[in-house]
């Protein structure tokens, strides 16, 4: 009984951690979109706008790459949980 309860609790914690780690990159991507809208609607020079958009692009690219690396790293754990 205790072993079954421990497995259920462990699976719940791992699924919660997985959702958290997938949710955080989604929040970062949403923040990048909001920042892009702010940059496009503000009155600034073309050089400043270009630099700001380049910075957002780098941040967004790193977010996507980090998410993919995290998914690859977590996939064995998710497969074990779904067993």
Please check whether residue 16 lies inside any domain of the structure. Answer: no
| Residues 6+ positions from 32 with CB-CB distance below 8 Å | 56, 59, 60, 63
Please check whether residue 76 lies inside any domain of the structure. Answer: yes
Please check whether residue 40 lies inside any domain of the structure. Answer: yes
Residue 18 CB neighbour total at 10 angstroms? 16
Domain count, the chain: 1
As a whole number of angstroms, the distance between CA 48 and CA 51 comes to 5
Instruction: With 0.75 as the threshold, say if the pTM is over it.
Output: no
Please check whether residue 28 lies inside any domain of the structure. Answer: yes
Residues 22-66 pLDDT 10s: 778 888 889 999 999 999 898 888 888 899 999 999 999 998 999
Tokens 């462990």 map to which residue?
A: 10
Helices (H), 1-83: 2-41, 46-82
Please check whether residue 13 lies inside any domain of the structure. Answer: no
Structural domain of 56: 21-82
Please check whether residue 9 lies inside any domain of the structure. Answer: no
Please check whether residue 74 lies inside any domain of the structure. Answer: yes
**79 phi/psi in degrees, rounded to 5:** -65, -40
């Amino acid at each position: 009984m205790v072993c079954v309860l421990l497995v259920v609790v462990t699976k719940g914690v791992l699924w919660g951690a997985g959702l958290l780690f997938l949710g955080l990159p989604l929040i970062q991507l949403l923040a990048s979109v909001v920042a892009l809208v702010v940059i496009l609607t503000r009155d600034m020079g073309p050089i400043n706008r270009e630099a700001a958009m380049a910075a957002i692009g780098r941040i967004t690219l790193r977010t996507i790459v980090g998410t993919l690396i995290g998914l690859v790293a977590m996939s064995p754990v998710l497969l074990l949980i779904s067993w």
